[in-house]
Amino acid sequence: MPTAREALLNAALAALGGLPWSAVRMVDVASAAGVSRQTLYNEFGSKEGLARALVRREADVYLQGVDQVLARPVPPVRNLAAVAEWTVAAAGARPVLRALLTGSWGERLPTPRPARAGARASAVPAQRRADAGVPSPADLLGLARDRAATALAGSGREDVLRSCEIALRLALSYVVAPGPSAADGQWAEPESWRPTTPTITSVIETIFRVDTTSPRKTMP
């Protein structure tokens, strides 16, 4: 059973499915989560605190997914391709994560504003972490890259680190510019956000092979 905090974050995320963030009301979030409005304010402090916590959780969900993919007992290049696929699929299914990865928030999403200077620190540890700030797109990409490089090389060798960064940047290119749907030429959601697996795997295998076996360390 989710904690009150998780229930509130789930309710806020669900509300974003039909409303812009500016129209999401704290009282409605509390009601949907089955807790009092005071409990909501005790957890997050304010609507801006709720926004920071929501975005922080999306970053954590993404990195936990990266870790789970990397833990699979498959060849390193397959794991690297799977991290790229997870990045694209998760971004397609989770608008807040997509904004976090790309830096493109838009008016419908809860842009995470920094906590006010001199504001009293929250009594809730998870909220203090959220209030400390959320990772930038470059920070989040770097965290995923470093996790992948460590898992694949054991020590994050420079060549493997470069392969991981290129693979993740390739994945982000799919996030920023997914293919149009065949039906109407519009960007399709969310199934088509998953890259064509044979294609992306082939590209990543080439990147990985060149970076880790070629004495010239150059792309063909």
Instruction: Tell me what pLDDT residue 92 has.
Output: 83
| Helix residue ranges, H only, the chain | 4-15, 26-33, 37-44, 47-70, 76-93, 95-102, 125-131, 137-153, 158-176, 197-213
Instruction: Tell me what pLDDT residue 157 has.
Output: 74
- Poorest-confidence range of 1-15, 128-142, 171-185, 205-219? 205-219
The Cα–Cα gap between 74 and 196 comes to 19
97-125 per-residue burial string, b: 16 or more CB within 10 A, e: under 16: bbbbbeeebeeebbebeebeeeeeebebe
Instruction: Tell me what pLDDT residue 183 has.
Output: 44
Instruction: Tell me what pLDDT residue 75 has.
Output: 82
- Per the CB < 8 A criterion, the answer to whether 24 and 38 are in contact is no
pLDDT digits 0-9 by tens, 181-191: 434 444 444 44
Instruction: Tell me what pLDDT residue 93 has.
Output: 86
Which is more confident, 111 or 219?
Answer: 111
**Residue ranges of the domains in the chain?**
56-102+135-213
**Cβ within 8 Å of residue 131, ≥6 positions away:** 45, 49, 52, 115, 119, 121, 122
pTM equals 0.82
pLDDT at 194 over 80: no
Instruction: Tell me what pLDDT residue 23 has.
Output: 95
pLDDT at 74 over 80: yes
Instruction: Tell me what pLDDT residue 182 has.
Output: 38
Tell me the one-letter amino acid at 78: R
Under DSSP, the state recorded for 113 is: P
Q: Within a 10 A sphere around the Cβ of 216, how many other Cβ atoms?
A: 7
Instruction: Tell me what pLDDT residue 67 has.
Output: 95
pLDDT at 165 over 80: yes
pLDDT digits 0-9 by tens, 10-43: 999 999 989 999 999 999 999 999 999 999 999 9
The Cα–Cα gap between 38 and 45 comes to 9
Could you give the angle at which helices 76-93 and 158-176 cross, rounded to 10 degrees? 30
Mean pLDDT, the chain, integer: 82
Q: Could you tell me if residue 122 is left (phi over 0), alpha (psi between -120 and 50 degrees) or otherwise beta?
A: beta
What would the mean pLDDT of 179-206 be, rounded to a whole number? 54
pLDDT at 220 over 60: no
